Amino acid sequence: MSQIDPFAPTPQDAAAQADRTAAQLGQIRHAIEQVVFGQASVIEQVLITILSGGHALLVGAPGLGKTLLVNTTATVLGLNAKRVQFTPDLMPSDITGTDILDQDESGRRVFRFVPGPIFTQMLLADEINRASPRTQSALLQAMQEYRVTQSGTEYRLPTPFHVLATQNPIEQEGTYPLPEAQLDRFMLQILLDFPDRDAERQMLVATTGASQAPPTALATPADLIAAQALVRRLPIGEKVVDAILTLVRGLRPETAATKEIGEALAFGPGPRAAQALMLACRARALLGGRLAPSPDDVAALAQPVLAHRMALNFSARANGTTLEGLISGLAGSIL
């Protein structure tokens, strides 16, 4: 016979907590939009990623404010952040840390671990595809297991821990494309485009004056951890679960929804993609002040969650087929 937990929150308490969290998230979102102009959907997706406890890959041309977005988000959320500029000569130990020979209090020589910049709450991996595959792989364990292993010893990373990486889609000379295993670690791939005319005008006026008010912290790490726990407690209906399963499984060659999709794909999204999509839908609902996600959340997040976890075969690329077209076509037919 199961016992009732006397400390478990009641539905009324959970709803009240969700309302408070949604109001705080609204203030956080507004504060970021006062610094990063014309990127409302991008800001939303970054906050969804963080609320889901995941990592994001920001893809956009230089000068669109990717670094500013990451730094502003970290400041407003009250997280400490560090930046690593990825270059071809960057070594794994430059990120994770290394053992150095030191002396203890008795004068004996001992090895001491010096933590690298990855020991932070938000890591900005700038131009991640410029580092070698060996260096890129230094992030794999940290992004999945939230720990670093050095000389057989495990070191836990701070909580919360998020990697926001940037990538320039224009200049590919001297870069190393991220392998599929690492792309799969990123919950969302977020595409940045140029702002519209009104947003760019607002940005020009606000950023070229004598002074600009810096962002301030509106939350603490404890607030964020509580919000992440709340996201996982939000109920999700069977209709939304079925939509996620139908969409993800329908974009795999083995279980393709249509013959055309199956013949176009080299590989499709795995189970981690379905998990990421469900968490992201819950986070988007909370960010919008709703207590449960809807099929609209699945449709809105299908592209950023699934596109980087799939690949077209050569024939499909030659025929002009795009992943965006496959995802939006299937999503439109089932949602």
- Poorest-confidence range of 9-18, 154-163, 197-206, 214-223? 9-18
- Poorest-confidence range of 178-192, 200-214, 278-292? 200-214
Residue 159 is assigned to a structural domain of this protein: yes
CA distance 231 to 17: 11
pLDDT, tens digit (0-9, with 9 covering 90-100), for 286-328: 999 999 999 999 999 999 999 999 999 999 999 999 999 999 9
Q: What are phi and psi of 130, to 5 degrees?
A: -90, -10
Cβ atoms 31, 218 nearer than 8 A: yes
3-state secondary structure 265-278: EEECCCHHHHHHHH
Q: Are residues 318 and 301 in the same domain?
A: yes
Q: Tell me the mean pLDDT in the region 270-276.
A: 95
Lookup: tokens for 143: 């992004």
Its domain, for residue 308, covers 235-335
Smallest CA-to-CA distance from 123 within 172, 179, 67, 84 is with: 84
Cβ atoms 97, 116 nearer than 8 A: yes
Q: Are residues 264 and 195 in the same domain?
A: no
Looking at residue 324, its pLDDT comes to: 94
pLDDT, tens digit (0-9, with 9 covering 90-100), for 29-49: 999 999 999 899 999 999 999
Looking at residue 45, its pLDDT comes to: 97
> Distance between alpha carbon 200 and the CA centroid of its chain, in Å?
25
pLDDT at 170 over 90: no
Looking at residue 203, its pLDDT comes to: 87
Count other C-beta atoms under 10 Å from residue 201's C-beta. Answer: 13
- Poorest-confidence range of 59-68, 160-169, 207-216, 295-304? 207-216
Collapsed DSSP state (helix, strand, coil) of residue 313: coil
Strand blocks (E) in the chain: 56-59, 81-85, 97-103, 109-115, 122-126, 147-150, 153-156, 162-167, 188-191, 265-267, 311-312
Type and span of the H or E element at 30: helix 11-33
Cβ atoms 93, 82 nearer than 8 A: no
Q: Are residues 190 and 244 in the same domain?
A: no
- Poorest-confidence range of 6-15, 155-164, 291-300, 322-331? 6-15
pLDDT at 254 over 50: yes
Residue 212 is assigned to a structural domain of this protein: no
Smallest CA-to-CA distance from 162 within 275, 84, 305, 55 is with: 55
Q: What is the CATH number of the domain that holds 41?
A: 3.40.50.300
Residue 64 is assigned to a structural domain of this protein: yes
Q: What is the CATH number of the domain that holds 315?
A: 1.10.8.80
Q: How confident is the model at residue 6 (pLDDT cuts 50, 70, 90)?
A: very low
Cβ atoms 257, 330 nearer than 8 A: yes
CA distance 148 to 152: 10
Round the average pLDDT of the chain to a whole number and report it: 90
Q: How confident is the model at residue 212 (pLDDT cuts 50, 70, 90)?
A: confident
Q: How many domains does the chain contain in total? A: 2
pLDDT at 1 over 60: no
Residue 109 is assigned to a structural domain of this protein: no
Q: Are residues 56 and 130 in the same domain?
A: yes
Looking at residue 96, its pLDDT comes to: 92
pLDDT at 23 over 90: yes
Q: Tell me the mean pLDDT in the region 148-173.
A: 88
Q: Are residues 68 and 139 in the same domain?
A: yes
Q: Are residues 256 and 226 in the same domain?
A: no
Q: Tell me the mean pLDDT in the region 157-168.
A: 93
Looking at residue 137, its pLDDT comes to: 85
